[in-house]
Structure 1
Amino acid sequence: MVDILQTPLLDTVNIPADLRTLAPTQLRQLADELRQETIAAVGVTGGHLGSGLGVVELTVAIHYVFDTPNDKLVWDVGHQCYPHKILTGRRERIRTLRMGGGLSGFTKRSESEYDPFGAAHSSTSISAALGFGVANKIADKPGKGIAVIGDGAMSAGMAYEAMNNAAQAGNRLVVILNDNDMSIAPPVGGLSAYLSRIVSSREFLGLRDLAKRVAKKLPRPIAAGMRKTDEFARGMAMGGTLFEELGFYYVGPIDGHNLDQLIPVLENVRDAEEGPILVHVVTKKGKGYAPAEAAADKYHGVQKFDVISGVQTKAPPGPPQYQNVFGAQLSKEAETDPLICAITAAMPSGTGLDAFAKAHPERFFDVGIAEQHAVTFAAGLAAQGMRPFCAIYSTFLQRAYDQVVHDVCIQNLPVRFAIDRAGLVGADGATHAGSFDVAYLATLPNMVVMAPADEAELVHMTHTAILHDSGPIAVRYPRGNGTGVELPETPEQLEIGKGRIVRQGHKVAILSLGTRLGEALRAAEALEAKGLSTTVADLRFAKPLDEELIRKLLTTHEVAVTIEEGAVGGLGAHVLTFASDTGLIDAGLKLRTMRLPDIFQDQDKPELQYAQAGLDAEAIVETVLKALRHNSGGVVEGARA
């Protein structure tokens, strides 16, 4: 398919300046070729497909009308940016998307001047575009800030915080609302398109401004009546009252796949002297590719696939995914416990809660992209005696840290946090890695932090969290499949803060937290082959620490190593603090901590990421051998110190 793809117009476009040399009548063909190139590329790499297909025409229109990169184009979340990357000098590398050393699956400042702002979390675009627009306004430089934000991202409060402040930018800010699911205004049609062209014209904006000035000079009751009549008429015709109240000129809705409508509206918006302006564009996710249009998720995220049939390459059968183990266990226990409820922030399937939602719809809550609200909502439920589970990716829970501290931990409320995607996440790269949750949670008073070594342990920890009513508790687990161990029929309630010995030795102690346990056991085998008897402990808890077990291991072994899938400040730091506070360091302890390096790691296969991070069996062995060769003793922190 790639070899026979015919893209004569697209072949002439390397950067948007090339695009602007085309005649308007050629743009339809260019968009069609761009759509086919996007499909062909993602067929090779996998990744986010449906969102990008939905904005092909919009991408062409924006780059055709606006002066990018001088006008700063900010894509919200960024997973719809593949067509944008093709048009901005990266077509030759587009088949390296989400691969090691390849293009990021999101916008990235270091990748191109056409990516002025990196984004992989939602609802940041309006704030960033506002910053670009205001900076240019202050410096009296040309250039607008253009935010393209999806209707899902508009569920987050940050978008409205930015819009409330948008008047500062004047006409330097353009917000394009990409409505690709349920329209918040009347259906798209000829009349709507006509009205959109009219209300975006300079003449209409000038007339409205004149009307406002005249109204200010009229008696208050008459002026108020004029304003209400205008709002009512516009609200009925176009649904823009909300955005008008926030200080925007509202334009829309318009058909986001009709270039004959898009181009003149965006040209009017570009030339408008008033602002800020919000353009409401209705698009269809997966547009132009039948398998995507027919799929329930519109091919939001896909594996490699056959372009002709749309059939995705399936991974070979394997153990269940951690998220599904969690979701199934929670749903099962909710059958007999009416207090259990589940909350997620727009990720029901990603967190494994789709099964729970089907079985217990009255106790399932998808709050949209609103992590802060999700946490405080869970706190309210807990305060009223429920047993809420707040299931959020580690990287997204960062957005609700203030709520975790103030609304949960200070009040010691028993909110259960199911933290998905803990550790490195492969193709999604640094923006989605769960690197920091142990560090930012284990430092909080009242919090309990668990990490299962395998899927059976996750079953036990889910059960343990349900029964933990004395305060907040979190269980973190990685993306992907489990290890293949048998799942228990009856879950155990684990003793809080107690680990376990999984292999007994006497010279080297490896203290593992989470799913690095398998690598720790492989390292122990290699060390035994070198004559070094090795103990391996699964600590299970980052907080509270099993101080009795840790003291025993540190005082009865020549070298101790901690290993975790998190940044500095996590388990290793807490073990070092314990050793310092208890005087173990003074006894000449040799303790090494192994954790993620102090960098943001780019995308790659997870096993390669962990090898690069120095968190595989080979690195553990090397760390132990270096520690044994270190004659001075003492504490040296670092994976390969």
Structure 2
Amino acid sequence: HINTLKGKGYAPAEQNKEVWHYNGPFHIETGEPLYEMTEEDYSDISLNYLLDKMKKDPAVVAITSGTPTVMGFTEDKRKEAGKQFVDVGIAEETAVALASGIAANGGKPVYGVYSTFVQRTYDQIAQDLCINNSPATIVTFCGSVYGMNDVTHLGLYDIPMMANIPNLVYLAPTTKEEYLAMLDWSIEQNEYPVGIRLPGGSVISDGKEITKDFGDLNKYEVTQKGSKVAVIGLGTFYGLGKEVAEELKKVTGTDATVINPYYITGIDAELLEELKKDHDVVITLEDGILDGGFGEKIARFYGDSDMKLLNFGLKKEFLDRYDVAEVLKENHLTKEQIVEDIMKFI
């Protein structure tokens, strides 16, 4: 065993190890950040929801594996949560096994984890959680091209990993309101292990009341009805999907159908079949790698039909310290590039 001391030789880091576990750009003289983060983020949202839920229900337990602030649990908030907060240390396998055991015994565990660390506990998600069908909740943070961008911490691979394990329901909210509705449903239901993949980028809050029953699995939502072209925008890229529809209308006059699929792990066969009646092209947009991803499930459904399919996402590669705008352009993920590709088929 090696005991590491991070920040050796830099006084602010030595004096406040937790805050300096990870840090963005800072003034070296003072240790103060170069950029102040004042916007609400999903850590804040998760913390406020869970603390309130804990007070009302002693069965709710928040779990972390060495990154307590992933869900906003700073030292003072951990004290407030008391025994309803568990940090297992840097042991993601233990976290998932613990969550499965708590759920199997009637508890309501919520495990918050950065997408990049899901790979460390793939065995436990499959073996301990999903084979036993334990109704625990995994909240995946920074699973996005907009997340951490160094090669050892990429969050682009969780969809192929998590979306292909039997029994797991993996959800993709697009807004704060959808996330909280999914989280509440997941905690209270006792039929499925559930993952929730948080959107990348800034938090979008539209104030919309969510009445959807997420237990009615794999039912997508048509948010704009059109014809000829259907745009299925998953999670973070639902917003891009709306932009594509607007650009397509401007360039070609075509009113596209826009769909929020919600579910990463399943397809809405009834809706996809219905699209065959008045659509020629279906495009999918996902904030992750294409290989083994969401779009391939849709493409497979249409494989024996005349429907044209275009899957947009990221190619499989190890990126490092990348510029998001450049990566999006390289992967044909600007609205102009996508519309240009669509126009080849309409």
Q: Tell me the TM-score normalised to structure 2 length.
A: 0.89
The one-letter code sitting in structure 1 at the alignment partner of 2:53 is E
- Please list, as runs of the form range in 1=range in 2, the aligned pairs for 1:207-356 lying within 5 A after superposition: 285-295=6-16, 297=18, 299-315=20-36, 317-318=38-39, 320-354=40-74
User: Is 1:551 paired with 2:273?
Assistant: yes
- Three-state SS of the structure 2 residue aligned to 1:404 is helix
Query: Of 299, 310, 316, which aligns to 1:576?
Result: 299
- Three-state SS of the structure 2 residue aligned to 1:594 is strand
Mapped partners of 2:58, 2:213: distance in 1: 19
Give the conservation status (yes or no) of the 8 Å contact 1:426–1:609. no
Larger deviation, residues 512-521 vs 594-603: 594-603
Identity of aligned residues (%): 32
- Please list, as runs of the form range in 1=range in 2, the aligned pairs for 1:584-595 lying within 5 A after superposition: 585-586=304-305, 588-595=306-313
Deviation at 1:533?
A: 1.4
User: Is 1:429 paired with 2:150?
Assistant: yes
Deviation at 1:513?
A: 0.9
Mapped partners of 2:89, 2:107: distance in 1: 21
The one-letter code sitting in structure 1 at the alignment partner of 2:56 is T
Give the conservation status (yes or no) of the 8 Å contact 2:230–2:256. yes
**493 and 360 in structure 1: CA distance in 2 versus 1, 3 angstrom threshold:** farther
Q: Tell me the TM-score normalised to structure 1 length.
A: 0.50
User: Is 1:609 paired with 2:327?
Assistant: yes
> Structure 1 or 2: larger helix share?
1
The one-letter code sitting in structure 2 at the alignment partner of 1:351 is M
Q: What is the match of residue 382 of structure 1?
A: 103
- Three-state SS of the structure 2 residue aligned to 1:560 is strand
User: Is 1:497 paired with 2:221?
Assistant: no
Mapped partners of 1:591, 1:513: distance in 2: 15
- Three-state SS of the structure 1 residue aligned to 2:258 is strand
Mapped partners of 2:228, 2:146: distance in 1: 34
Deviation at 1:508?
A: 1.1
Deviation at 1:311?
A: 2.5
Deviation at 1:455?
A: 2.0
Query: Of 270, 283, 287, which aligns to 1:565?
Result: 287
User: Is 1:538 paired with 2:256?
Assistant: no
Deviation at 1:528?
A: 0.2
- Three-state SS of the structure 1 residue aligned to 2:111 is strand
May I ask how many residue pairs the two structures share in their alignment? 342
Give the conservation status (yes or no) of the 8 Å contact 2:200–2:236. no
Q: What is the match of residue 196 of structure 2?
A: 475
Deviation at 1:376?
A: 0.9
Mapped partners of 2:327, 2:41: distance in 1: 19
Deviation at 1:451?
A: 0.5
The one-letter code sitting in structure 2 at the alignment partner of 1:286 is G
Structure 1's unaligned 5+ residue stretches are: 1-153, 155-176, 181-284, 629-641
Mapped partners of 1:410, 1:459: distance in 2: 26
Mapped partners of 2:282, 2:145: distance in 1: 24
The one-letter code sitting in structure 2 at the alignment partner of 1:578 is F
Mapped partners of 1:487, 1:328: distance in 2: 19
Give the conservation status (yes or no) of the 8 Å contact 1:508–1:535. yes
Partner deviation per Cα, 1:65-115 (whole Å, 9 max, x = no partner): xxxxxxxxxxxxxxxxxxxxxxxxxxxxxxxxxxxxxxxxxxxxxxxxxxx
Give the conservation status (yes or no) of the 8 Å contact 1:417–1:475. yes
- Please list, as runs of the form range in 1=range in 2, the aligned pairs for 1:76-115 lying within 5 A after superposition: none
The one-letter code sitting in structure 1 at the alignment partner of 2:298 is V
The one-letter code sitting in structure 2 at the alignment partner of 1:332 is D
Mapped partners of 1:546, 1:359: distance in 2: 42
Deviation at 1:178?
A: 4.0
**444 and 554 in structure 1: CA distance in 2 versus 1, 3 angstrom threshold:** farther
Structure 2's unaligned 5+ residue stretches are: none
Q: Relative contact order: is structure 1 or structure 2 higher (C-alpha 8 Å, sep ≥ 6)? A: 2
The one-letter code sitting in structure 2 at the alignment partner of 1:625 is M
Mapped partners of 2:135, 2:170: distance in 1: 13
The one-letter code sitting in structure 1 at the alignment partner of 2:292 is G
**434 and 484 in structure 1: CA distance in 2 versus 1, 3 angstrom threshold:** same
Q: What is the match of residue 400 of structure 1?
A: 121
Give the conservation status (yes or no) of the 8 Å contact 1:499–1:538. yes
What is the root-mean-square deviation in Å for CA atoms of aligned residues? 2.4
- Three-state SS of the structure 2 residue aligned to 1:391 is strand
Mapped partners of 2:272, 2:73: distance in 1: 35
Deviation at 1:487?
A: 7.7
**356 and 315 in structure 1: CA distance in 2 versus 1, 3 angstrom threshold:** closer
